[in-house]
Amino acid sequence: MKKLYCITSHCNTREKIESLKRTIKQLNDLNRDILLISHIPLSEDIIESVNYFIYDRSNPILHYPERVMFVWNKIDINGEIVSLNIKLPDYGFTAINQYSRIASFCDNLNYDFYEILQYDIIFTDEILHNSLNNNFLTKVYDPNHGYRWPSLMWFGVTPSTMKLIKDEWTRKDYVEVNLRDAEQYIEKKYAQYGFDDLDIIVKDDCGFTITDRNYWFNFNKQNDIFKIFSDGKELIFYDLVNQVKFLINNKIYFIENNTRLNISRKDIKSIGYHDYDDKLVDILHMLDVLDEMEVRSIGEEIANG
């Protein structure tokens, strides 16, 4: 059976580059045919070590209002449950886009089967020496939950399914189907195409780190004395370890419990707190994170993304 291993990558660190090289070497040692796709330029030695290379500069991150990921955190303020909401960019289509580019390229090739894998997959004999020839999905190791399914780390594609991916896995379809993430999108598509659900948990070398929820909802990265959040219109202090003396626009606020202040970001000219030595610590820079995220809101009901 003539098989092509299609490696997806976005290797922007030395660690990731080394993982990619290791993956390619292991496949080359077994004389396997390799296709590599990357959003960013790669060195000549890497390109020459594979059979096919796709360089696609596009890395389509979807933004509000086209498509977003909703996250929220609920806190109690004087007996009222207040929701802290963030609409984050959707990075899932970046993976779907690579699969679509691979499928378009492979439309001109003549392979009996395709295995799509991530650059930092940890190979096992079961993965390297299989005789699979039907669409398949696998699990990926998750230290918090044991595993997640389906996995983008390694899955199988028949030639007929590769043609469907080329034709159907579009940006328009991804947005209109409007599922939780790329994994759920692939699950839905494969349910239509038919697949084998392999009881295999795949591990990766570099891991995927998603920003912790506490980071999204707390602009204070310096200490655990208090948490601060804003949507640009209001200011919230919560989870204070004790009473804290704040100075906002030269006005003193003694805050001990979760507190909601009707002060917009544009009206805040200065903000700080007094530390344990009663020294004023400037924290105006903490509100700069407002420029980095898509959309924040306080107290509004979350809608489907």
Q: At CA 124, angle to CA 121 and CA 129, rounded to 5? A: 110
- Average pLDDT over the chain, rounded to whole? 92
Residues near 18 by Cβ (< 8 Å), separated by ≥ 6? none
Please report, in angstroms and rounded to a whole number, the separation of the first and last CA atoms in the chain: 42
Closest by CA position to 255, among listed 242, 270, 272: 242
pLDDT tens column, 212-249? 555 689 999 999 999 999 999 999 999 999 999 999 99
Separation of alpha carbons 17 and 12, rounded Å: 7
Least confident of 134-143, 167-176, 270-279, 287-296: 287-296
User: What is the average pLDDT across 278-298?
Assistant: 82
Q: Is the pLDDT of residue 166 over 60?
A: yes
**Is the predicted pLDDT of residue 209 greater than 90, yes or no?**
no
The DSSP 8-state label assigned to residue 101 in this structure reads H
Q: What is the mean pLDDT of residues 158-176?
A: 97
Q: Does domain 3-202 have CATH number 3.90.550?
A: yes
What residue ranges do the domains of the chain occupy? Answer: 3-202, 213-298
Stretch among 105-109, 112-116, 144-148 having the lowest mean pLDDT: 144-148
| Residue 152: other Cβ atoms inside 10 A | 25
Please state, in angstroms and rounded to a whole number, the distance separating the CA atoms of residues 133 and 244: 64
Are 272 and 253 within 8 A, CB to CB?
no
Q: pLDDT (tens digit, 9 = 90+) per residue, 40-86?
A: 999 999 999 999 999 999 899 998 889 988 888 999 999 999 999 98
Q: How far apart are CA 136 and CA 4, in angstroms?
A: 15
Residue ranges of the alpha helices (H) in the chain?
14-29, 44-47, 92-106, 125-128, 159-168, 171-177, 182-193, 213-216
* Sole residue written with tokens 């955190």: 73
